[in-house]
Structure 1
C-alpha cells in the first residue's frame, strides 16, 4: 500500500510539472499576441513588483514561476536572485518569470532585477522561498580541454587529469579516504580524498601489460585482488587473478608482492565472498564460465613458507556454471550479505542474479532479473521489461527506508548505464529506475542526453559514458568515473562536500 501511495505521488508530481510547462508555454506565447495587454516592455520609470511565486519550497534545479509586474519581455535584461544566488531563467513575460532555483539558495529571499546598468529596478518578494537541500551531481576532479589532448597527469585535484578509459572504482577497506581506480588498458590510480591528490601507485606493467578489469580486497584488507583479461594468444591458459600484498606502511605499489594465483583466460572480473572469505569467484567470457576457487590453500602455502606455483596450483578451481551468452564481457557483484550476486553482462545489456547455496558454499546457475539480451535501449520498468545499454560497474547501497520497514533485503543496486549516460538503480524487487543523469532542463540547447552538467540529479545533471561507481556510506557520497567527460563525478548532499554547483555555468566550485 505504501509503494502504491509513493507511485501515485510520483505520477501526480509528474503531472504537476507537465501542467506547469504547458502554463509557461501559454504565458510565453502571449508575447506575440497584440491583444494581450500583459505583453509590454519593461518600463524603468515604474517599480518592479513581485506578487507571488510557486511552488513555495524546493531544492536546487526546482522549476519556479514568479508572478508580478514590469518584468518586461527581454530575459537578457532580467536577473533573478534567490538566497543571494543567481537563478537560471528559462522564459520571461511582463507578469511572470519561469526559472530554476540555484544551488545553496539557503536564505530563500527572492529578488528580480530588471534593466541595464543605468536603469536597473529591483523588486523584492515579501515572503521567502523555503530551500531544501538534496542530493546533487558535482565534479571532484579532472577536465577535458577543447582538443581532448590534456593527457594523464597526477597531482592535486585542481590540476590532475586523465580518467579516459573504462574502469572500476573501489574503496580501500583499511583506509576509507583512499579510492582506487582500475582502468581497462591503463594503470591503477589512487584518489586520496583527504589530501585531494591523485597518484599512480601500480602500473599495468606489473601485471604483464594485460587488460586490468576489476579490483577487490580480501576481508582483512591485506590483499588487493586484481582481475586481468588475456587470451594467451589462443594457447592454453593465461593469467586471470592476481593478489597484491599490502606493504608494511599500508600502501600498494609496484614493489609490493604481486602473485598470480589463478589462471584460465579472458577474465573480466573477480570477487571474494564477503562472508566466506576463502571463496574467490572469477569468470571467463570464453564460454561465459563462472569459477569458484578456494584461496585458503594459497594462504596455507604462503604462511608455511612455501611457494605458490600458478601453473601447478593456480588451476585449483571449479567451474560452477555458464551464463547464457558466450564470448561477451561480464562482471560479478556479490551482495554484502553473501546471499546472492548480480552478474552484469556488459555488451549484451542485461543483469543476471545467482543465488548462494549456504550448505554447498557456492553460487547456483544464474537467471535474468533486469533488461533483455541483445536489446539495447533506455526504459525504466520492472525485470525483463526494463532496457539497458552497456551496463558496467555497480555497487550495493543500504536503503534506510527498507531498514525501517523491516525488509529482509535492505540494499539497492546502483550501476553505471554506460551508453545511456546515466546512473540507474535496481531495487530488490527487480525494478529499474534512472537515478541521475540525462537532464534536459538546462541552459544548453544541444538536445543530447549526455554532457557534463552538474546539479539536480534528473533535471539538470548529465554524464558521458560513465563506467565506474563507488559509494562512501560514511558521508553518503557516490563517486563516478565519467569516461568521455574525463572526470571523477560525485553525487552527494548539497553543501556537505565542500563544493557547490553553479547551475548557470554547469561548473562545480
Structure 2
C-alpha cells in the first residue's frame, strides 16, 4: 500500500509534469498567486526529487514546500555547482543538471531559509561526441552559409583556434576560402574575412601573438612574391589583413613560440623548418628533415621546452628540444609512429597512425596530482588521405610516448568500415569521417573537432 508521502509525491509529480508542458503561466487569481509566493517566515522543505540517476543536462524535478513561484529568488546548487532554476511553483522546482555535479547534493536557499535534501542523486559522467553545427540534409547536401548553429553550413573545416581572450569564440579556416567565427555566446557561425580580403590564396593555419591581440594566418602559395603570414588585429575586429612577411612558397603551417613570440613555419618544397625572428624581422633556417615535398606541422609545448614535429603522410611525430640559451630548435628524433599508416595503439615506434592533421596540447589534472614534470597530453585529429580511411579518430599521445584511441572508430557500419557520422559514446559508438582539425577550450573543458567530410563541427564536453 502506498503511504501518504508516496501519494503526495505522485500528485506533485503530476502537477509538475503538467507545468513542464506549459502550465507555468502564472495564476490569474491574485489571491492564488499570493498563496503560492515564498513565505520567509516558514522553512523550506525538500521531500524528494527525480530521477535518482542523472547525467549532464538531465531534467530534474525537486519536490517540497515553500519554494514560491519566482525562480529568480531561488539559489540552487546541484552537486555543489550553481544551477539556474528554469521554473517553479510552490511545491516543485524544474532545473537541468549541470556538468560536474558529481557530489549528488541538492541545496536550496531562498531569503533567510535554506534546506539540504536528505538523499543524494547518482551522477553519471557522460562524455560523448555530439554535433555542434553544420546542417546537412538527409541526402547529404549542404551549403556554405552563415547563420545560427541549427541552419548554418560549412564545407571543409581545416583548422580551429580558440581566442585566448574569449574561449567562447573559435576561429575556423574554411578550406581555401575564408576565416569564420564559431560564436558559442550567440550560437552562430559567421564569416570574418574571405581569401580576397586576406590577400592570400590558401590559408592553412592560425596562431596568436603572446598578447592575444593579433591573429596570424599562414598561407600556402605557389604564386610570385607570396605572402607567408598575414595579421588580423583585434583592434580592427579581425576584419583587415596586414602582411607580416612574404617571399616563401608552399608553407604548410606556422606557429608561434609560447615564450619568445617568434614564428616557426614549415616549408614543403625543401622540407625545412624556418623561424621568423620578430625582433630582427629576418627569416632563419633551422634544419631540413631530408628530402623534398614533405608535409610538416610544428606544435610547441606550452612550456616552450620542446616541439612536436608532425609528418602527417608518414603517420609519425618527431620531438625537437628547444635550446633556450640559443633560442634554437635542435634536430628532431622519432617520438611516436613508424612511417607506416594504419591503426595500432602502442608506445613509440610500435604505434601506427593514419594521416594526422591538427593537434593540441591539453593539461591533465591527474599528472598535476602525481607531480609529473610534463602535465600535458597531446590530442591529434587523424583523418584520411586519397579516400583511404586508416584512422578517422582522435588520438591521445601521452608524455610517455603512448598513443591510445580517445574517440572515434567506435561502431562499425554495414560495410565493416569505421568511418561515418555517429554521435555517442567516445569509444563504443562515435564515428568521424576525415576529422581534420581540433582545438580545446581549457576554461569550459570542450574539444571542438572539424569533421571534414561530414561538413560539421563536432564537440566533446569533457566530464
Q: TM-score, normalised by structure 2?
A: 0.70
Alignment partner, residue 183 of structure 1: 174
User: In 2, are the aligned partners of 1:165 and 1:185 still within 8 Å (CA)?
Assistant: no
| Aligned with residue 244 of structure 1, among 229, 232, 244 | 232
Tell me, in whole angstroms, the C-alpha distance in 2 between the residues paired with 1:188 and 1:246: 14
Decide whether the 8 Å contact of 1:379 with 1:387 is kept in 2: yes
Does residue 200 (structure 1) correspond to residue 187 (structure 2)? The answer is no
Q: Which residue of 2 aligns with 1:453?
A: 422
Q: Which moved more, 1:288-297 or 1:330-339?
A: 288-297
Whether the aligned pair in 1 keeps the contact of 2:230 and 2:241 (CA below 8 Å) is: no
Matching residue of 2:452: 483
Partner of 1:423: 394
Counterpart of 1:83?
Answer: none
1:227 matches 2:227: no
Structure 2 equivalent of residue 283 of structure 1: 266
Structure 1 runs of 4+ aligned residues shifted over 4 Å read: 57-60
> What is the CA deviation profile of residues 273-301 of structure 1, one whole-angstrom value per residue up to 9, with x for unaligned ones?
11112x11112011111011211345xxx
The secondary structure found in structure 2 opposite 1:269 is: strand
1:319 aligns with 2:293: no
Q: Report if the CA contact (8 A) 1:328-1:346 is conserved.
A: no
Greater RCO, CA 8 A, separation 6+: 1
1:184, CA displacement in angstroms?
Answer: 3.1
Q: How big is the shift at 1:348?
A: 2.1
> Which segments of 5 or more consecutive residues in structure 1 lack a partner in the other structure?
1-56, 61-103, 107-128, 299-315, 495-509
Counterpart of 1:363 in structure 2 is 329
Residue in 1 that maps onto 2:118: none
Query: Could you say which residue in structure 2 is the equivalent of 1:294?
Result: 277
Q: Assess if the C-alpha contact under 8 Å between 2:200 and 2:227 holds in 1.
A: no
Matches within 5 A, 1:29-48: none
Distance 1:166 1:153, change over 3 A: closer
Give the 3-state SS of the residue equivalent to 2:230 in structure 1.
strand
Cα distance per residue 1:362-398 (max 9 Å; x no partner): 211111111122x110010111110111100000000
Task: Provide the C-alpha distance between the structure 2 equivalents of 1:175 and 1:166, rounded to a whole number of angstroms.
Answer: 20
- Counterparts in 2 of 1:209 and 1:273: CA distance versus 1, 3 Å: closer
TM-score where L is the length of structure 1: 0.64
User: Alignment partner of 1:247: what SS?
Assistant: helix
Counterpart of 1:75 in structure 2 is none
Instruction: Structure 2: state its 5+ residue gaps.
Output: 1-52, 57-98, 102-120, 385-390
2:359 alignment partner in structure 1: 394
Superposition pairs of residues 33-112 of structure 1, within 5 angstroms: none
Which of residues 336, 354, 372 in structure 2 aligns to 1:407?
372
Distance 1:195 1:58, change over 3 A: closer
Q: Distance in 2 between matches of 1:451 and 1:325?
A: 35
The 8 Å contact of residues 398 and 410 in structure 1, kept in 2 or not, is answered as: yes
Alpha carbon RMSD of aligned pairs, Å? 2.4
Conserved in 2, the CA contact under 8 Å of 1:357 and 1:364?
A: yes
Q: How many residues align structurally?
A: 344
How far apart in 2 are the matches of 1:403 and 1:414? 18
State the SS of the aligned residue for 2:287. strand
- Distance between the aligned counterparts of 1:318 and 1:485, measured in 2? 39
Alpha-carbon distance, 1:186 to partner: 2.0
State whether residues 345 and 404 of structure 2, in contact with CA within 8 Å, keep that contact through their aligned partners in structure 1.
yes
Matched, 1:349 2:289: no
Which position in structure 2 is the counterpart of 1:273? Answer: 257
Q: Is the contact between residue 349 and residue 391 of structure 1 (CA under 8 Å) also seen in structure 2?
A: yes
Aligned 8 A contact 2:157 2:455 in 1: no
Give the equivalent residue in structure 2 for 1:152. Answer: 144
Alpha-carbon separation, structure 1, partners of 2:290 and 2:317: 11
Change (3 A) 1:58 1:380: farther
Alpha-carbon separation, structure 1, partners of 2:371 and 2:294 = 38
Q: Which residue of 2 aligns with 1:261?
A: 245
* Aligned-residue offset at 1:238: 2.8
Q: 1:462 and 1:414 mapped to 2: Cα distance? A: 17
Q: Partner residue of 1:137? A: 129
CA distance in 2, matches of 1:366, 1:185: 30
